[in-house]
């Protein structure tokens, strides 16, 4: 083994996973069959929430700003500007084309936005005020015509005013105060008062992620985003207090969040463990953060930075920080991560809140095959072709031969009939 863990995570029991799957399956089936009635049942059961209607009216959304301090409004407006600018830069990198691949064979691609999407905005323990911004803005920039947002009721008995303000500011088409697996079911299958969508995006707890997994195929999804993760790569020059602060910033999200450190210095590893314990006692969110760290936290020691990068690539974390003396030199070694933070002063929490790059990122090692939410996830790249007679004659010969060899006689004939006509 090229690494040694001085703190390990507690393994997840298989029966816990199976119970989660069965619970979510039951919720989704009931929402699919009973619609609004099932949504109401689960909202009352889980959130003690039983309003006259779940859709937020325009007047209520517009009034959210009045409940917020001026500085919060200013910061949320700044976040919208930042995320919009970054999303627009992403869109500008996407190109349509049409060209002659060979004489007489004209081929191309178009970029077409999906018709509708549902943005899930979590707000369980803490309202992450910019989560709506991160999902809605890329959809807007992509050109999605119908955008729905769902978020669970908070302490006010409705959607958190900060989240609701951003939804109204961004002109979300439909806003619903619904949370959990029941919200995912409503978005996927539709109800009497909500038409289904084509794509569901956004982070959430284990119930939301399992629901997204189970409805995939009926609708598209971005990826499974949650619970939160952060891995720090560090050498002997790193600051233990920075490492502890950044890991606990992830741990306070959820008891199932995962924080990890891989370092070339055992001394730093031990200092970081001590610093985490010290900082935990100072945090108002200690209960959640401690549960996460004690059950899911990992500290590993490796021989060199190359091994640290290997560890990171195998872990494929949602967030990856580099706290080394020469962080740019580590960059070429890193292949699998949701978002990367280069240098100890590039705090992951900046991207969580306002910086611009999207904070909805793959978890559970999904970064091995996908990046984070971006404009391109709200669009379909579709191809087309057009051939002239000479090119059709050439292609028909190949297609007829191949169809005959494969035993697909209708394929062979579809080519042969054109071949005969073009030769005549």
Please check whether residues 156 and 25 belong to one and the same domain. Answer: yes
Quickly state the pLDDT bin for 339 (edges 50, 70, 90): very high
Residues 212 and 287 occupy one common structural domain: no
Q: CA-based angle 259:162:280, to the nearest 5? A: 30
Residue 155 has a pLDDT of: 78
d(CA 76, CA 357) in angstroms, rounded, equals: 15
Tally of structural domains, the chain: 3
Count other Cβ atoms within 10 Å, centred on residue 88: 13
Q: Which of 203, 222, 241 is the last residue of a domain?
A: 222
User: Taking the CB of residue 152, how many other CB atoms lie within 10 A of it?
Assistant: 25
What CA–CA distance (Å, rounded) separates 413 from 406? 13
Residues labelled as active-site residues: 318-319
The answer to whether residue 180 is domain-embedded is: yes
How many whole angstroms separate alpha carbon 69 and alpha carbon 233? 37
Question: Within 10 A of 128 (CB to CB), how many other CB atoms are there?
Answer: 22
In the predicted model, what is the mean pLDDT of residues 118-126?
A: 88
Q: Is 204 helix (H, G, I), strand (E, B) or coil?
A: coil
Contact by Cβ (8 Å): 230, 249 = yes
For residues 23-27, average pLDDT: 99
Same domain, 252 and 177: no
Sign for the CA dihedral angle at 77, 81, 82, 87 comes to: positive
pTM of the model: 0.90
Token pair 């062979």: residue: 412
CATH number of domain containing 267: 3.40.50.1980
DSSP code, position 226: -
Query: How is residue 223 written in tokens?
Result: 């990826």
- Are 214 and 231 found together in one domain? no
Cα angle 91, 133, 127; round to 5: 155
Residues 239 and 177 in one domain: no
Q: What is the pLDDT of residues 62-100, one digit of tens each?
A: 999 999 999 999 999 999 999 999 999 999 999 999 999
Number of C-beta neighbours around residue 411 at 10 A: 15
pLDDT given at position 163: 96
Q: Which residue range forms the structural domain that includes residue 336?
A: 227-371
Looking at the structure, do residues 181 and 282 belong to the same domain, yes or no? no
Instruction: Identify the domain boundary among 222, 254, 280.
Output: 222
Per-residue pLDDT at 205: 87
- pLDDT > 80? residue 355: no
């Amino acid at each position: 083994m090229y690494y040694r863990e001085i703190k390990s995570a507690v393994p997840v029991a298989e029966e816990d996973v199976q119970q989660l799957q069965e619970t979510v399956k039951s919720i989704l089936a009931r929402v699919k069959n009973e619609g609004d009635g099932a949504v109401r049942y689960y909202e009352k059961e889980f959130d003690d929430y039983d309003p006259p209607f779940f859709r937020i009216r325009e007047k209520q959304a517009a009034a959210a700003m009045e409940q917020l301090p001026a500085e919060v409004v200013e910061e949320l407006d700044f976040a919208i500007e930042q995320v919009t600018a970054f999303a627009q830069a992403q869109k500008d990198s996407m190109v349509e084309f049409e060209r002659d691949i060979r004489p007489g064979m004209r081929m191309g691609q178009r970029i077409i936005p999906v018709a509708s999407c549902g943005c899930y905005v979590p707000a369980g323990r803490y309202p992450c005020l910019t989560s709506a911004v991160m999902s809605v803005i890329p959809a807007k920039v992509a050109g999605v015509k119908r955008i729905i947002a769902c978020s669970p009721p908070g302490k006010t008995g409705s959607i958190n005013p900060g989240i609701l303000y951003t939804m109204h500011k961004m002109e979300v088409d439909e806003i619903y105060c619904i949370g959990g697996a029941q919200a995912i079911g409503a978005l996927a299958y539709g109800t009497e008062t909500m038409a289904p969508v084509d794509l569901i995006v956004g982070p959430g707890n284990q119930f939301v992620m399992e629901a997204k997994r189970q409805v995939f195929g009926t609708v598209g999804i971005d990826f499974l985003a949650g619970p939160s993760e952060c891995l720090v790569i560090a050498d002997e020059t790193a600051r233990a207090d920075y490492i502890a602060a950044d890991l606990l910033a992830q741990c306070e999200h959820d008891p199932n969040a995962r924080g990890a450190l891989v370092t070339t210095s055992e001394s730093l590893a031990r200092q970081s463990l001590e610093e985490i314990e010290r900082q935990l006692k100072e945090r108002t969110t200690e209960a959640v953060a401690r549960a996460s760290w004690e059950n899911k936290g990992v500290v590993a020691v490796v021989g060199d930075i190359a091994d640290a990068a290997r560890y990171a690539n195998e872990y494929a974390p949602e967030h990856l920080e580099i706290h080394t003396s020469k962080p740019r030199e580590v960059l070429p070694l890193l292949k699998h991560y949701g978002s990367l933070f280069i240098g100890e002063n590039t705090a992951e929490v900046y991207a969580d809140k306002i910086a611009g790059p999207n904070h909805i990122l793959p978890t559970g090692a999904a970064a091995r095959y996908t990046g984070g939410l971006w404009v391109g996830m709200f669009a379909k790249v579709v191809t087309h072709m057009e051939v002239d007679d000479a090119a059709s004659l050439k292609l028909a010969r190949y297609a007829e031969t191949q169809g005959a060899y494969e035993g697909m006689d209708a394929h062979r004939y579809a080519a042969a009939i054109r071949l005969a006509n073009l030769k005549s």
